Amino acid sequence: MTKRLLILILVLAAVMSSIAQESYRTGILPQVNLNMKLSDNWRLVLRAESRQVVASGLFGDPFEFGYDNNLTDLALLTSRRISGTQNFTFGYQMRLAGEKPIHRTIQQYSLVSVHNSFRLGHRFAADQTFEPEETAEYRFRYRISFETALSGQSVDPGEFYFKVNQEQLHGFSGGEYDLELRLAPALGFEFTDNNKLEAGFDNRFSSFLNGSLRSSFWLTIGWFISI
């Protein structure tokens, strides 16, 4: 019952967020995430993600394809385990979009609670984005994650699992505030304890406060490796 209720709440949130949509983008978000153990409590995380736009426009207008290699993100993060279920992570991300790179610093705290047949994760994060000739942007984020095995009580090698993230992003730049909501369901497959693949949809809704809601719909493909 708990799992069904949580999924229902997240789906309803996405439906309510989609009311009065105006502009949109859609495409593909492939990601590779390499997690390397440095010691019992320290890990190094290397992440690469690319945003490929295949269509954009206004709702109600004819749908037209238009491919654009929108951007690429490269991140180097360090993670410190505080306890068995809690981690603090900080690092740097470089965004390649246009002529000059965009720089971002990241700090986040995460914890996971394990239940009989599912896991709940919470992540509290902040990031600061610095772009040449642009005002710096400061964001504060909260994400809740739900994950459950599709067979048995836990996810084992050779099995599928279901995962869904819901995130709020509060952004501040030049005295202006913006809110973005994200809902990302995904189906995962665990090849081994250190190798898994996830595919799903990342739905993003922003610019609520200025009356011109922007929506983004991405097909996500993520490969996660631990060594």
pLDDT band at 11 (very low <50, low <70, confident <90, very high): low
pLDDT given for residue 154 in this prediction: 84
pLDDT in tens, 133-146: 889 999 999 999 99
pLDDT in tens, 14-68: 544 544 458 889 999 999 999 999 999 999 999 999 999 999 888 777 777 888 8
pLDDT in tens, 73-115: 999 999 999 988 899 999 999 999 878 899 999 999 999 998 8
pLDDT given for residue 3 in this prediction: 55
% of the chain with per-residue pLDDT over 90:
66
Q: Where are the domains of the chain?
A: 2-226
Print burial letters for 111-150: b (CB count within 10 Å at least 16), e (below 16): eeeeeeebbebebebebebebeeeeebebebebebbbbbe
pLDDT band at 10 (very low <50, low <70, confident <90, very high): low
Give the per-residue SS3 of 108-151. Answer: EEEEEEECCCEEEEEEEEEEEEECCCCCCEEEEEEEEEEEEECC
The answer for residues whose C-beta is within 8 angstroms of residue 98's C-beta and 6 or more apart is none
- Classify domain 2-226 by CATH number: 2.40.160
Q: Nearest CA to 101 among 127, 123, 133, 126?
A: 133
Instruction: Decide: residue 17, CB within 10 A, 0-12 exposed, 13-18 middle, 19+ buried.
Output: buried
pLDDT given for residue 4 in this prediction: 53
Average pLDDT (193-204) is 95
Mean pLDDT over all residues of the chain?
A: 88
pLDDT given for residue 1 in this prediction: 46
Determine which of 62-66, 175-179, 194-198 has the lowest per-residue pLDDT on average: 62-66
% of the chain with per-residue pLDDT over 70:
89
Q: Which residue has the higher pLDDT, 178 or 18?
A: 178
